[in-house]
Chain A
């Protein structure tokens, strides 16, 4: 028997949108005590489907045009507002991607949980408080009494998501809708939250509708999977079946794009050291203004005694969670930040103490690819100029630089006509290609890529990784690749440096680090990778 049954759901977009329906003829059903994962890339309509169930579509432009959401014999798509309010929070509840913004910043956690009881159940204050404390304890938050009176900003990301889960489960709802609840979290925290959701689901016999873009998460948590593409459910079935033998070509391509956790075969290591980083130190200081009256001074040791070396033609991965200092190291190497101590030796010269002018000739030898394809290109500059700028600054003639830019556009897989367009006319993946072309324009020896694919959908990610690999091969580039994603690291990097709290805790050949990690933290990281027990069936990327 189905607990929730979505039939022929159409969600209409406002007039003038790219397509008339965000969700078209979607059919889904959820049984009690089951986790259904809805997987899809951005724009697939998975989130809107979830919101339609809750009656929380962005008013008044987006609405259910056709179809029914049947919940225990009642059509929620046609239910009046008052009835929906009764259901929300008590029988169906929801958790969100960003627990920081999803909680009211000026209200204590206790009060926000208390509201659920106050609006749905006749309970005395004392009883409500006891229930809330018990909930916080159930989701394994330390010191529930203190959490009750804490404000959201006083908790960590993981704690906030736990508090959200406690709030959602306050009244034992029959259905829990989780909209990418772990996407904003670090991998180890994500693993804990996934475990918690599973535990809670078991304990309360809840039906969970879990929205995600990550097949690893699916492998870890789902009982059944539905794959969405362009607003349609293209395939649906038990997890084991979908993961081992997907039928729909889209599902197949999606899963093929997921990088395998089995590291690619190592390549012979060159003797030639291109870049050496020795004992790099960087401390961020904040606060402590005039007369010491400002905020108390804070020191964050973002990089501490970091030593790395990069050989010709090799890709060195720096992996770690947020705040580990991996980006800081990258930025110190390309001299966007000034390190406090240490050496950055490129071509026999130490870059660290060089001033702007002295640094300029070295700039062309080391280039960077950035994370955010939207923020990394000047929205007011034409693509051709963005690429040609570097060579022009380094003294190339205008004409030559423009010819070069056109050539590069083709190399990175874009039409040369892109030259006269503005960045906003391109998709995220295309912009990332432009960013790569800009970095290549100076013919660098070293390319530093700071999370170059983490903002992209998995199929685009696959394409960009392939592009980087081809270019590295063709131009004999050496690469420093910053990532938080161990799957990506396994497929891209020859060697790995694992960072935590500003220190490199482990370094070695990728295969070795994966097979026999020595540091506890590396083990924990590897352990937390979602879907680690699952290997994507056909791995086109590893075949490279």
Chain B
């Protein structure tokens, strides 16, 4: 069988494996909805200002809210399967529309954050490990230690104080300067300028994480037997580090990058609300304040799906890096 066909089968297999997880998340979502005080009818009645108990009962019947829990769960699953995530009464829009509208902004922030965090994390970890116990290693380790302990929102605020308010290099909030009506490359440049601070803020913590992981991983791999073999072959230290050790050391970092995507989206709630970045996180923050649970749950579901997707990509990258993974 061709290598490509094998990989395609692997991808399909991994997709199918994600199904039960997505299913479980939807079920959790449903029960969270049940946990919340009051149902959609209460909210609707509250919105309307006045509603008779008879009218509310009628509404409940219409929405199937009088049915046993299990039937309601079935209904909910059916709705989700048809991409119906409910209705946001605050925004007077279907949740799905609202969520998709903000999707791009979050993706942009996430992708740039992952690239920055993983890229620089690997680089810094590599620099620290290759200069073990020199000032370079010490400086990088201290940097990682401190950023690992800093709350995201506080970094964001401090960056705003320094780079926006004092130095005026970057805008304080938003994704683009709408008032300027930029077009084409100007618009791209404008968005990029807005992207800098949120990306740095969100990536700092993960940057520290990957730096530490990469350093530890390099050191661990450097003690393996195959490194001795490579030395016994007369290879240069440079070649051993960059060809033999590096690829092996990357494996746990890649795994961790996948594991951390969920946490990263969580962090984006804070960062987006600090920088008023118009993404899912900001939407979640708004939903939180207006107590719009339907919307919050919709965001939760969509972000979970996003994580599943990113994890799949990470797994495929991993299977390329590590031949021991059974692709077949």
Contact = CB atoms under 8 A, between A and B. Distances in A.
B108 to A, nearest CB: 33
Is chain B's interface secondary structure helix, strand, loop, or mixed overall?
helix
A105 B13 contact: no
Interface in B195-233: 224-226, 228-233
A89 B225 contact: no
Given A104-B248, A105-B248, A151-B324, A93 B233 contact: yes
Most A C-beta atoms less than 10 A away, residue of B228, B234, B235: B234
Interface in A152-181: 153, 164, 167-168
A203 B321 CA distance: 39
A119 B239 contact: yes
Contact of B16 (A54, A56, A93, A291): A291
A281 to B, nearest CB: 28
A86 B13 CA distance: 48
Interface string B238-249: 010000100110
A87 interface: yes
A96 interface: yes
B17 A293 contact: yes
Given A104-B230, A105-B226, A293 B235 contact: no
B323 A106 contact: yes
Contacts of B236: 85, 119
Contacts of B251: 106
B235 A119 contact: yes
Given A98-B225, A151-B323, A107 B231 contact: no
Interface residues of A, number: 33
A206 to B, nearest CB: 15
A126 interface: no
Given A105-B324, A107-B244, A290-B20, A88 B225 contact: no
Interface centre among A94, A105, A164, A291 (most CB of B within 10 A): A105
Given A56-B228, A101-B224, A85 B234 contact: yes
A179 to B, nearest CB: 10
A115 B226 contact: no
Given A104-B248, A153-B324, A293-B13, A94 B225 contact: no
A106 B325 CA distance: 10
A188 B149 CA distance: 56
B16 A104 contact: no
A407 B225 CA distance: 45
Interface in A404-436: none
A116 interface: yes
A249 B225 CA distance: 35
Most chain-A CB neighbours within 10 Å: which of B231, B232, B321?
B232
Contacts of B16: 291, 293
Contacts of A79: none
A354 B226 CA distance: 48
A101 B226 contact: yes
Nearest to A100: B225
Contact of A102 (B20, B226, B248): B226
A295 B232 contact: no
Contact of A115 (B13, B233, B247, B321): B233
Nearest to A104: B226
A290 B229 CA distance: 41
Interface residues of B, number: 26
Contacts of A94: 229, 232
B230 to A, nearest CB: 7
Interface in A44-101: 54, 56, 84-90, 93-94, 96, 98, 101
A136 interface: no
Contacts of A86: 234
Contact of A96 (B17, B229, B248, B323): B229
Interface in A135-160: 151, 153
A175 to B, nearest CB: 12
Which one of B16, B233, B251, B322 has the highest number of Cβ atoms from chain A below 10 Å of its Cβ?
B233
B92 interface: no
A80 B174 CA distance: 60
Given A106-B247, A153-B323, A293-B16, A96 B233 contact: no
A56 B224 contact: no
Nearest to A167: B233
Interface in B145-177: none
A193 B185 CA distance: 66
A10 B226 CA distance: 26
B231 A88 contact: yes
Given A104-B226, A293-B16, A56 B232 contact: yes
A84 B228 CA distance: 14
Given A151-B324, A153-B323, A103 B226 contact: yes
A89 B251 CA distance: 28
Interface in A279-324: 290-291, 293, 295
A120 interface: yes
Contact of B232 (A93, A104, A293): A93
B225 A119 contact: no
A106 B232 contact: no
B229 A103 contact: yes
A102 B228 CA distance: 7
B326 interface: yes
Nearest to B326: A295
Given A98-B225, A106-B247, A106-B321, A119 B234 contact: yes
B229 A102 contact: yes
A167 B235 CA distance: 13
A85 to B, nearest CB: 5
Nearest to A86: B234
A295 B248 CA distance: 23
B225 A102 contact: yes
Nearest to B245: A104
Contacts of B225: 96, 98, 101-102
B324 A120 contact: no
Nearest to B226: A104
A120 B232 CA distance: 12
A376 to B, nearest CB: 26
Nearest to B232: A94
Contact of B322 (A89, A106, A168): A106
Contact of A119 (B20, B233, B248): B233
A128 to B, nearest CB: 14
B244 A85 contact: no
Contacts of A96: 225, 228-229
B99 to A, nearest CB: 30
A103 B324 CA distance: 13
A115 B236 CA distance: 11
A88 B237 CA distance: 13
Nearest to A170: B233
B114 to A, nearest CB: 23
Interface string B288-328: 00000000000000000000000000000000011110100
Nearest to B14: A293
8 contacts: A56-B232, A87-B234, A88-B231, A89-B235, A105-B324, A106-B324, A119-B239, A151-B324
Q: Which are the 10 A-B pairs with shortest beta-carbon distances? A: A89-B234, A88-B234, A89-B233, A101-B225, A94-B232, A151-B323, A104-B226, A85-B234, A102-B225, A102-B229
Interface of A: 54, 56, 84-90, 93-94, 96, 98, 101-107, 115-116, 119-120, 151, 153, 164, 167-168, 290-291, 293, 295
Given A56-B231, A103-B226, 14 more contacts: A54-B231, A56-B228, A86-B234, A96-B228, A101-B225, A102-B229, A104-B229, A104-B244, A105-B322, A106-B322, A106-B323, A106-B324, A119-B239, A168-B232
